[in-house]
Chains A and B, each alone.
Chain A
Amino acid sequence: MCDENEMSKLSSSNFTESANLILDKPLVAQRMEVEVAAGQRYIEVLKRFITKPGAAYVVLVDGVVVDQNEIIQPGVEIRCVPQIIGG
């Protein structure tokens, strides 16, 4: 989980262009909605928030699946869904 200092570094007040990141259980302990700076790779931002070992996730940007190596564009809504295989 990201601590408060980390959160403030990522918050929109430090950047002119930002995107909206929404994470919910079970990825994180409590639902969180935070603005993050555009121009970074999705994976760089998400790794700071999601630290559960052994798990995998798919990133959705405005409801569409994207590669985590792509660059965050201003104004988008980012969500992340956990992956499980088998059963």
Chain B
Amino acid sequence: MKTNQGLTQFEMRSEFLAGNSPYSGKVLRVNLSTGEIWVDEHSDDFFRKWIGGRGLIVYYLLKETAPNIDPLGPDNLLIFAPGILTGTVLPGTGRHAVGGKSPLTGALASGEAGGWWGAECKQAGFDAVVIQGKAEKPVYLWIKNGGAELRDANHLWGLKTGDCQEEIRKELNDEKIRVAQIGPAGENLVRFAAVMHDINRAAGRGGLGALMGSKNLKAVAVRGKFKIGLADKEIMKITQKWITANYKDMMGWAIQYGTSGSVKGNHDGGVTGIRNYQDGSLEGIEKLDATSIFTWLIKDRDTCNRCPVRCKLVAEHLGDVYIDPRYGGPEYESIAGLGPMCQINDPLVVGKANELCAAYGLDTISTGGTVAFTMECVDKGLLNGFEDMPKFGDGQSLLDSIEKIAHREDLGEWMAEGSARMATRIGMESDQMLAVARGQELPYHDPRLKNAIGMGYAVSATGADHMANLNDTFATWDGSDICVRLRELGIETPLKLWGISDHKIEAFFYETAFKNFLDSAVICHFYPYEFHHMVDALNAAGGWNMDMHEIISIGERIINTARMYLLREGFTAEDDMLSARLFQPTKVGPIAGKAMTPEYLKDALQKYYRRMGWFEDGFPTEETLVRLKLINL
């Protein structure tokens, strides 16, 4: 395959060029095996049905990939998909999705990232980028103003993300280029490697970085000048004005500390998994909370395209332990996974671990989960013969483990496969210590407290996913944005905290449909938008006449398409389950003695299947597929 041949240029349609449409109608296609570059043209109907983001990802995966392909083989697709609202004037739309068949779970991988890459991709003229095949040698994809080119990346292979981005910007002589890329972890096919954007925003979950590495694709660099327009700018102003007037009050928590402000509260409230989900509390947790780290570790704040909130942290530390501010700062999930999960309360260790994960391109959630699982195996004497094995509470051993995982060295070769594969390799009932769903390490929202979120982990096509889910503790407090949305649908709130009642299943149904819609549009979940705001935003974007029921149907369509993909790949209802540790209550702490049983979860899932219009075996009925216009997909 020839590289550095110049941009292959594509013509843009007039409505897009005139700023009257938020989408170009063009999906860029690249075959890395042959070097071919072309576009798929999509109609208005396509965007109304699939919206973009996760919707577009599941459409392409089900339509174009054969069943049971190797996630790390050339036939898998790597899909970068901004949404219909990405890059528009609406705050909270500076996000995009990345997807493919997951190298970690074998199911769907679909992760969303903030920053600037998604908007820049659309400004470059493409609604999505779908990549297939495998390059003979390392390449990167350069997209600019309606054109695309494959370029040699031999000189970039092996670089950490910060250095790679600098090299690409220097080579193309433009400091404003936005780069999606993998670090050494993705190159080495670590099964929970992330795709990094702007070097510190991860599409982290499911091993998309390994998928990118398997294609010998180091980066996708974008730069564009097209304006992302709207069909009706006046309607959009309604939602714009509402959020501008309310975001300071409603998102005060994010403005003040970002998600790091929840570390102590989540710990005290029994949300955070501690010491591989064994303990009820961690001594010294206050040292990791925002109120502590902001005084000496947080240097600045950063933001995403079109976002006034600036919840993103920038950490810096000078001295023996240097923390590079280019890599941002730790969010709640990263702090919880690299801190309490590993019994570590030293913010310098957590900050450094977060930096290493961004530089090497690793998902912090699965890194924390896998290292903590390994620590417990070491603790229980199940692992022997490796150098310097990680130990609970030992910060240096966490940092060493991250290096070893990224390079697949020593015990890192085992850890790079993720905790579920490690348990299979170790045997000796180590699977009883796993905290996973569908083979993916859990985010730090304990399903022994949040039972509905546990059901969401179990049933999600993406494996354990805290975002496209119903958060029990939000649905329990009447003033939360979730309760406001549920009341808009006529659902009585607040919900009871414990258990998965019929009432909660109804709320779960609507909230997961809404969240899957958000991940397709693609909108930040922190924004407290209600259904009617999204109705206005979509109608402004596409010039449509949608109502909230159509938004719910879009969400349902995406969940059902992901479900069909999952079933086609050989998963069954038996796989809709949590791992053993999550049914074992802690002995002390804020949720001592609390946990669902597997039977209780199975019973709740049957109720959910019925609500979704699925059979007892988890397959959608024909009636459901017809209703959602999926019968001919």
Contacts and interface: CB of A to CB of B under 8 A. Distances in A.
Contact of B590 (A65, A68, A83): A65
A26 B261 contact: yes
A33 interface: no
Interface in A58-79: 58, 60, 63-69, 79
A56 B525 contact: no
Contacts of B496: 67, 69
Interface stretch (A3-11, A12-20, A46-54): A46-54
Given A43-B478, A84-B332, A58 B259 contact: no
Given A65-B449, A84-B266, A87-B259, A56 B474 contact: yes
Top 9 nearest A-B pairs (CB, nearest first) are A87-B331, A87-B259, A54-B250, A84-B262, A58-B269, A81-B265, A87-B332, A56-B480, A56-B477
B528 interface: yes
Contacts, number: 118
B573 interface: no
B330 to A, nearest CB: 8
Contacts of A26: 252-253, 256, 261
A53 B243 CA distance: 13
Contact of A81 (B254, B258, B269, B498): B269
Given A65-B591, A83-B265, A87-B334, A56 B473 contact: yes
A65 B481 contact: no
Contacts of A60: 268-269, 590
B387 interface: no
Contact of B262 (A52, A69, A82): A82
Contacts of B476: 56, 58, 67-68
Interface residues of A, number: 28
Contacts of A84: 253-254, 259, 261-262, 265-266, 332
B466 interface: yes
Given A81-B265, A84-B262, A85-B445, A67 B498 contact: yes
Given A43-B494, A85-B466, A54 B525 contact: no
Interface size class of B (residues with CB under 8 A): 35 or more
Contact of A83 (B256, B473, B589): B473
A56 B396 CA distance: 36
Contacts of A56: 471, 473-474, 476-477, 479-480, 482
Given A83-B262, A84-B332, A85-B466, A63 B479 contact: no
A87 B443 CA distance: 10
B526 interface: yes
A84 B267 CA distance: 12
B250 A53 contact: yes
B39 interface: no
B249 interface: yes
B399 interface: no
Contact of A55 (B253, B266, B494, B525): B253
B497 A52 contact: no
A68 B497 contact: yes
Contacts of A51: 479
A84 to B, nearest CB: 4
B417 to A, nearest CB: 25
B378 to A, nearest CB: 28
Nearest to B281: A63
Interface in B159-187: none
A76 B428 CA distance: 44
B37 interface: no
Interface string B468-494: 000101101111111000000000001
Contacts of A81: 264-266, 268-269
A63 B590 contact: yes
Nearest to B471: A85
A57 B473 CA distance: 7
B467 interface: yes
B271 interface: yes
B592 interface: yes
Nearest to B469: A85
B333 interface: yes
15 contacts: A26-B261, A53-B249, A53-B250, A53-B479, A55-B477, A56-B476, A58-B269, A58-B271, A60-B590, A64-B590, A67-B496, A83-B262, A83-B474, A84-B332, A86-B333
Most chain A beta carbons < 10 A, residue from B246, B254, B477, B525: B477
A12 B481 CA distance: 33
B270 interface: yes
A83 B478 CA distance: 13
B200 to A, nearest CB: 13
Nearest to A64: B590
A58 B479 contact: no
A26 B265 CA distance: 10
A51 B253 CA distance: 14
B251 interface: yes
B443 to A, nearest CB: 9
A64 to B, nearest CB: 6
Interface string B63-82: 00000000000000000000
A67 B476 CA distance: 8
A47 B478 contact: yes
Contact of B481 (A54, A57, A68): A54
A86 B467 contact: yes
Nearest to B497: A67
Contacts of A69: 494, 496
A59 to B, nearest CB: 9
